[in-house]
Amino acid sequence: MVGWMEDPFVPLSFEVPDGYSLSEFHLEPLGEKYNDRDHAAWMSSIDHIRSSPGFDSPESDWPVAMTLEANLEDLVGHAKDFEERRGFTYSILDGDDVIGCIYIYPARRSGHDAEVSSWVRESRAELDAAVWEALSTWIDEAWPFSNPYYAVRA
């Protein structure tokens, strides 16, 4: 934890957005409240997510089938990262319907200061490029990164 405090992912003075709204969707920090809907969204979309830019690496086996209880543990972990400013995950929502997720974490890729990835559920695949475009703008305008990596959508 000491290293994190000496070199935080985002400056301590940065006010982390508590959401984002557009007419087509909105974001809320990922948390326990949407466990059932989050689990249903990605469990119904595993192959689609694996083929999405940013998740299509042959080295990755995520997402994997997981129980509702295991999903809850995952959500709790992401919420803790958010609280401790180590990474930021938001549910992508249409009303209260989970249509995807966006993850903002420190970069593992050389030359970047953040890695952003997002997915939309297979039944809402037509929104993938529009979500990517809107969230790319949001990352550029609302976050303190100089060179984030966010896999381009066609």
Q: What is the mean pLDDT of residues 90-118?
A: 95
Task: Please report which helix (H) or strand (E) contains residue 138, including its range.
Answer: helix 128-142
25-150 CATH: 3.40.630.30
Angle between helices 35-43 and 68-83 (to 10 degrees): 110
pLDDT of residue 6: 52
pLDDT of residue 61: 77
Give me the mean pLDDT over the 117-125 stretch. 96
Angle (nearest 5°) at CA 118 between 139 and 142? 10
* Residue 54 predicted with pLDDT over 90: no
Mean pLDDT, residues 126-136:
95
Give the per-residue pLDDT at 153: 87
pLDDT of residue 89: 97
**What digits encode the pLDDT tens for the residues 85-103?**
999 999 999 999 999 999 9
Q: Are the C-beta atoms of residues 138 and 130 closer than 8 Å to each other?
A: no
Q: For residue 71, give the nearest of 89, 53, 56, 84 by alpha carbon.
A: 89
The pLDDT, as a whole number, for residue 59 is 72
Band of the pLDDT at 111, cuts 50, 70, 90? very high
In angstroms, rounded to a whole number, what is the distance separating the alpha carbons of residues 41 and 39? Answer: 5
Residue 7 confidence class, pLDDT cut points 50, 70, 90: low
Residue type, 15: E
| Summary mean pLDDT of the chain | 91
